[in-house]
Amino acid sequence: MRDNNAVHGQIGRTEASLRAARAYLYATANEVWSDLARRDPISEAHSIAIRIASTWTIHQSASVVDIAYHMSGATAVFAKNPFERRFRDMHAIAQQIQARDTQYEDAGKAILAGNLGAAPTTR
């Protein structure tokens, strides 16, 4: 794998995806935290932003794990391989309520209602 150009490209893309998801989640958390530090209550806009960012991050993380799984080949499924447990853990997280696509539906409904009081880029 170390000398495979296709693997190199895939590693680069998945690293970018993971870093982008992490940056999005951290930026959203920082925005909410800054408002809380000023003693502003958590608004509906904050709630929606957190839900979207966390759901997106979970989905991106599961995608990165899937890519690693496919690159690992047949040995990835054996219990003796440490990756196998991580694969199962990530997919267990992806099945939790916070990762469900209904999070996006609820967010979209709130955004379209237009009562959020925040610019669309901060939602």
| Contact predicate 36/42, CB 8 Å | yes
pLDDT of 115: 60
| Contact predicate 23/53, CB 8 Å | no
pLDDT of 123: 41
CATH code of the domain covering residue 54: 1.20.140.10
pLDDT of 82: 83
**Tokens representing 32?**
């909410």
**Alpha helices in the chain, H assignment, sequence order:** 5-37, 44-72, 82-94, 102-113
pLDDT of 117: 57
Please give the residue range of the domain that contains residue 81: 5-122
pLDDT of 61: 94
pLDDT of 113: 84
- 116 vs 101, 102, 109, 113, 120, CA distance in Å? 21, 19, 11, 8, 9
pLDDT of 116: 63
Residue ranges in the chain modelled with pLDDT below 50: 119-123
What does residue 108 show for φ and ψ, rounded to 5 degrees? Answer: -60, -40
pLDDT of 106: 87
pLDDT of 75: 78
CA–CA separation, 52 vs 86, rounded Å? 24
CA–CA separation, 93 vs 116, rounded Å? 29
* Domain count for the chain: 1
